Amino acid sequence: MTITEPTITRTATTKKPVLEIRDLSVDYGYDDDAVHALKNVNLTLGAGEILGLAGESGCGKSTLAYAATRLLPPPGVITGGEVLFTSSRDGHGGDLLRMSDRELRAQRWRDTAIVFQGSMNSLNPVYKIGKQLMDGIRAHEKMPAHAMRARAADLLSMVGISKDRLDSYPHQLSGGMRQRVMIAMALALEPEVVIMDEPTTALDVVMQRQIVEQIMDLKRDLGFSVIFITHDVSLLLELADRIAIMYAGNIVEDAASSEVYHQPRHPYTAGLLHSFPPLHGPRRELGGIPGSPPDLMALPSGCNFHPRCPFAFDACPKIDPALGPTLYGDAEPHRSVACLLHDPAVGPGRLPDELAARPAG
Ligand code: SF4
């Protein structure tokens, strides 16, 4: 079996990088029993960008978020890579994976913050909201108690919650309010990077819409960059500047959202887009993707997507494609794709109509 080198050849962002994930690999377990949950993942977040990370359940999205912030619980093990933070404000930074515990404590919340999946599990049920907000601030800044309470009240108002709620327990708030508290907490020290892991999944669509709009407003006001993780590609098409698609622990496509929407270049991305109704234009029949995501303990050989891919050809079960340029090369300088159809050395030299160029619209 031939394995191509998993080295990225370009970055899809046009902005100055604030967070660069390089060749990040994560296993669950050790030695022969290890499950390779992430394999040499490369991703760059530009300053001020919203980068959407999408894929089916179990593809490694949350593992990526936890590993990149050094919050991965055992038996998860980071087996290689770098996560480089570079402040766009004053240039300070470093590799999060190699920082001492002290450096990491100082870095968290101030430079990078995370909003976890399922706020009700993240807030401590026996402490009032105000105390939990103030504990986070106190860990980083010294200020009188009354000033800290005022700061916590400001944070609540920023996410549309009355300051009276400082004295409420988590169970006295609705799911949407608890999620807003988590967002307020993440923004307490005005970090430059916020990772949001399925922040709206447990909420109804109306609340989901309100929270997404609020995140957009806060981003405009505070200027942070976001990695937004979800299985809902349609949400990302509205929200994100760029979208990276994950499959079986790898990024398989990385491009501007409008490019992904108008012309996916990877068969898996095309399948995801055919799995929900179009945002605009006439109704069409939904396609879906046959089969299920692979078992990470028994991955298919070569391209992991080949048993489900409608365009698989003879090289696909033999060669593991690396993330690289599209078949259109320099004409698409800010797109990356991991598919052998785009490799002139082994592919047919042209794309199927469904993946080929067509005017945006
Ligand atoms: Fe499909 Fe082959 Fe491309 Fe994999 S490499 S996505 S199997 S065409």
- Taking only the tens place, the pLDDT of each residue in 330-353 is 889 899 999 999 999 999 999 999
Span from the CA of 315 to the centroid of ligand 1 (angstroms):
9
Buried b / exposed e along 11-50 (16+ C-beta atoms within 10 A): bbbebebbbbbbebbbbbeeeeebbbbbbbbbbbbbbbbb
pLDDT digits (tens, 9 = 90+) for 178-205: 988 998 998 888 899 999 998 887 677 7
Structural domain contains residue 178: no
Span from the CA of 305 to the centroid of ligand 1 (angstroms):
6
Structural domain contains residue 123: no
Residue with the nearest Cα to atom 6 of ligand 1? 339
Span from the CA of 237 to the centroid of ligand 1 (angstroms):
23
**Nearest atom within ligand 1 for CA of residue 317:** 7
Structural domain contains residue 169: no
Domain that holds residue 86: 1-111+191-361
Cβ contact 345:322 at 8 Å: no
**Nearest atom within ligand 1 for CA of residue 310:** 1
Q: Specify the long-range contacts of residues 71-76, CB closer than 8 Å, at least 24 apart.
A: 71/114, 72/26, 75/28, 75/29, 75/30, 76/26, 76/27, 76/28, 76/37
Mutate which of 339, 351, 355 for ligand 1 pocket (most atoms within 8 A of beta carbon): 339
Span from the CA of 340 to the centroid of ligand 1 (angstroms):
6
**Given this model, what pLDDT does residue 281 score?**
67
**Nearest atom within ligand 1 for CA of residue 303:** 4
pLDDT digits (tens, 9 = 90+) for 151-162: 999 999 888 899
Residue with the nearest Cα to atom 7 of ligand 1? 306
Structural domain contains residue 277: yes
Span from the CA of 18 to the centroid of ligand 1 (angstroms):
31
Average the pLDDT over each of 43-57, 196-210, 317-331, 342-356 and give the range with the smallest value. Answer: 196-210
Structural domain contains residue 136: no
Give the residue with greater pLDDT, 239 vs 280: 239
Q: Which residues are bridge partners to 41 per DSSP? A: 24
Residue ranges around ligand 1 (CB below 6 Å) = 267, 303, 305-306, 309, 311-312, 316, 321, 339-341
Average the pLDDT over each of 45-54, 66-75, 237-246, 286-295 and give the range with the smallest value. Answer: 286-295
Residue with the nearest Cα to atom 8 of ligand 1? 312
What confidence category does residue 282 fall into, taking pLDDT thresholds of 50, 70 and 90? low
Whether residue 2 has pLDDT greater than 50: no
The per-residue DSSP string of 87-107 comes to: -TTT--EEEGGG--HHHHHHH
Whether residue 272 has pLDDT greater than 80: yes
Tell me which amino acid residue 124 is: N
Whether residue 241 has pLDDT greater than 50: yes
Domain count, the chain: 1
Structural domain contains residue 145: no
Structural domain contains residue 121: no
Whether residue 167 has pLDDT greater than 70: yes
**Given this model, what pLDDT does residue 118 score?**
73
**Given this model, what pLDDT does residue 285 score?**
72
State the CATH number of the domain containing residue 325: 3.40.50.300
**Nearest atom within ligand 1 for CA of residue 252:** 6
Structural domain contains residue 358: yes
Sign of the torsion formed by the C-alpha atoms of 333, 336, 342 and 346:
positive
What confidence category does residue 279 fall into, taking pLDDT thresholds of 50, 70 and 90? low
Whether the model pTM is above 0.85? yes
Mutate which of 3, 309, 336 for ligand 1 pocket (most atoms within 8 A of beta carbon): 309
